[in-house]
Amino acid sequence: MSLHRVAALVLPGQSTFELASAAEVFGLRRPGLPRGYDFAVCTEHPGAVPTLAGYDMLIGADLTALDAVDTVLVPGWHDRTEPAPPAVIDALRRAHSRGARVVAICSAAFLLAEAGLLSRRRATTHWRLAGELAARFPDVEVEPDTLYIDLGDVATSAGTAAGIDLCLHLARTDHGAAYAAHVGRHMVMPPHREGGQLQYSTGAVADRPVESLAPVLDWATERLHQPLTLDAFAAQARTSPRTLARRFADQLGMSPGRWLLQQRVAAARALLEETNLPIETVAQRVGLSSATNLRRRFHALLHTTPAAYRRSFGRHEQGAGSGGPGTD
């Protein structure tokens, strides 16, 4: 596993949660998991940097730390209404121009926009700040109902916990689904959270509490290898198919069929990474019936083939799992 270098750029008035979220994913060693990241923290003026929590943090590295990393991560920007320091803007542009991935959590999207890295591109931020971001930077295509957006070279997230969603997504991209799932389990976090952020925004109080889909989702996750129809989902939830579909749309932002497909592809990714099972067997174990169907679904969601994915992220020797018919 190649070591991916990440540097977090902290600014005065630093949010401690956003920084801690990045450190949890990229900075901690996990038992039983190979080291995937080298994590550092830097700031414009090394020394004591005040935080929003009322204490200072001591940072020893300056902006030159951004010149030798694979990912630059900005965990929030408290002073978004003030012009950013020119040296910070220059450092971000320089890192991006040499090919580093630049990541913004929550309000840090304003800093990336000021640096010109989001011009004529999709981005998100906390739902409360989305209108402000769109008004101040009209050339940015702001998506207020998105947990995170990864464009490859630039990524942005919604507020607070969505920063963890983005960091786990980046870990999944860098080192595979099993690696991200392992980190997520240690954090007691799902490796991929469904739906958009507007489900968390302030709105009218419902006439009655919304019943969680969690029991139904857990039931289905344990039966991915079985045929699962909308009627079966509805029966398990003790409701009508129409009501269940509406609850999926409200709580997860997608249909039951779309959710089920995502879970099956995610399960296939883990099997491709951790076993040398033939592609046909992987497809059957996750309920996608055949290697042909798995390849089609895999390409639609991930833009690659199961065999290519295994070559990139597989933990086992290639052989039984990558040879023979129906493996690409």
Examine the domain organization and report whether 181 and 308 are in the same domain: no
Contact criterion met (CB below 8 Å) for 127 and 198: yes
Examine the domain organization and report whether 84 and 119 are in the same domain: yes
Q: Which residues contact 204 (CB under 8 A, 6 or more apart)?
A: none
Q: What is the pLDDT of residue 197?
A: 55
pLDDT tens-place string over residues 219-271? 998 999 999 999 999 999 999 999 999 888 877 778 899 999 989 998 999 89
pLDDT level of residue 88 (50, 70, 90 thresholds)? very high
Examine the domain organization and report whether 35 and 157 are in the same domain: yes
Distance CA 23, CA 18 (A): 9
Model pTM score: 0.71
pLDDT level of residue 306 (50, 70, 90 thresholds)? very high
pLDDT tens-place string over residues 115-130? 999 999 999 999 889 9
119-129 residues labelled b (16+ CB within 10 A) or e (exposed): eebebbbbbeb
Q: How many domains does the chain have?
A: 2
Examine the domain organization and report whether 172 and 227 are in the same domain: no
What percent of the chain clears pLDDT 90, i.e. is strictly above it? Answer: 61
Any domain includes 115: yes
Examine the domain organization and report whether 85 and 154 are in the same domain: yes
Any domain includes 265: yes
**Alpha carbon distances (Å) from 323 to 35, 168, 311, 328:** 29, 31, 12, 9
Q: Which two tokens stand for residue 229?
A: 């129809």
Any domain includes 199: no
Examine the domain organization and report whether 149 and 228 are in the same domain: no
Examine the domain organization and report whether 162 and 254 are in the same domain: no
Any domain includes 166: yes
Q: What's the whole-number mean pLDDT along residues 146-163?
A: 90
Structure-derived torsion over alpha carbons of residues 301, 73, 274, 277, reported in degrees to the nearest 10 = 20
pLDDT tens-place string over residues 167-214? 999 998 999 888 888 888 888 666 555 555 544 444 443 444 457 788
Examine the domain organization and report whether 182 and 215 are in the same domain: no
Examine the domain organization and report whether 285 and 160 are in the same domain: no
Is a pLDDT exceeding 90 seen at residue 20?
A: yes
pLDDT level of residue 45 (50, 70, 90 thresholds)? very high
Examine the domain organization and report whether 169 and 308 are in the same domain: no
Any domain includes 136: yes
Closest CA to 317 of 260, 261, 276, 262: 276
Any domain includes 287: yes
Q: What's the whole-number mean pLDDT along residues 137-158?
A: 92
Domain that holds residue 325: 207-328
**CATH code where residue 239 lies:** 1.10.10.60
Q: What is the pLDDT of residue 13?
A: 93
User: Across the chain, what does the average pLDDT equal?
Assistant: 87
Examine the domain organization and report whether 103 and 223 are in the same domain: no
Any domain includes 220: yes
Any domain includes 11: yes
**Three-class SS of 67-105:** HHCCEEEEECCCCCCCCCCHHHHHHHHHHHHCCCEEEEE
* CA-based R_g, the chain, Å: 21
Examine the domain organization and report whether 38 and 99 are in the same domain: yes
